[in-house]
Amino acid sequence: MEIQHTPFKPLVDRILKDGKCLEGGILKVDGFINQQIDPNLLKDMSIEIVKRFANYKINKILTIEASGIAPAIMLGFFLNAPVVFAKKKVPSTMENMLTTEVFSFTKQKSYSVCVSKDFLQKDDKILFVDDFLANGNAAKGIIDLVKIVGAELVGMAFLIEKGFQAGGNYLREQNIKVESLAIIDSLDNCEIKIRQ
């Protein structure tokens, strides 16, 4: 599938400088996204996402814990919108709960994600953000939750999309507006190839 893509150069450069490739097609970016976080890069990436969704009405940011929370907060700050994260463990205290199942690519097992209906409403216009798009399983879970409440999914933003996995094509085929700041074309032989 041919897609329109504008790489966000500061992120592309940083991945090439500090990203590491693990066996099994995993890109490690824990020096600036997944464990240690570079707040300046995070701010610049969030502003870029805001620009890419400038023509859309958004009143809520949605993500899944844990890695999505940092970009979601920064985005929520710039869009002046509340940030909701779906939880991976069902808390005993949660009321009006919505749940769905998600298969984890990195952990190779399914888990439930849940969010309280108190924080997702029918009239919400939602921008979903996450660190990675791989097979799109987390994204599919979110689509389910948004559908259940009857809210509008305005779009999905990812810092890094793994273009060699199926998630991006799947979401775009559903006519969802997908914006990825960097698309990895290949991690074969542990060489990071990024779409230009």
Cβ 28 to ligand 5GP shortest distance, Å: 6
Neighbours of 123 (CB within 10 A): 10
Q: Does 67 bind ligand 5GP (CB under 6 A)?
A: yes
**Which of 64, 76, 70, 84 is CA-nearest to residue 36?**
70
Binding of residue 135 to ligand 5GP (CB under 6 A): yes
Please identify, using beta-carbon distances, which residue of 117 and 164 lies nearer to ligand 5GP.
164
Q: In whole angstroms, what separates CA 108 from the centre of its chain?
A: 18
Give the x-and-dash track for 24-53 against ligand 5GP (CB under 6 A). --xxxx----x-------------------
Q: Is 180 in the site for ligand 5GP (CB under 6 A)?
A: no
> Phi and psi dihedrals of 24, rounded to 5?
85, 15
Based on the shown chain and the rule CB under 6 A, indicate whether residue 167 belongs to the binding site for ligand 5GP. yes
Q: Counting contacts by CB under 6 A, is residue 145 touching ligand 5GP?
A: no
Distance between CA atoms of residues 84 and 107, nearest Å = 23
Work out the burial of residue 38: count CB atoms within 10 Å of its CB; fewer than 13 is exposed, 13-18 middle, 19 or more buried. middle
133 binds ligand 5GP (CB under 6 A): yes
Does 130 bind ligand 5GP (CB under 6 A)? Our answer is yes
Among 32, 85, 105, 170, binds ligand 5GP (CB under 6 A): 105
CA distance 100 to 187: 30
Report in angstroms how near the CB of residue 188 gets to ligand 5GP at its nearest.
13
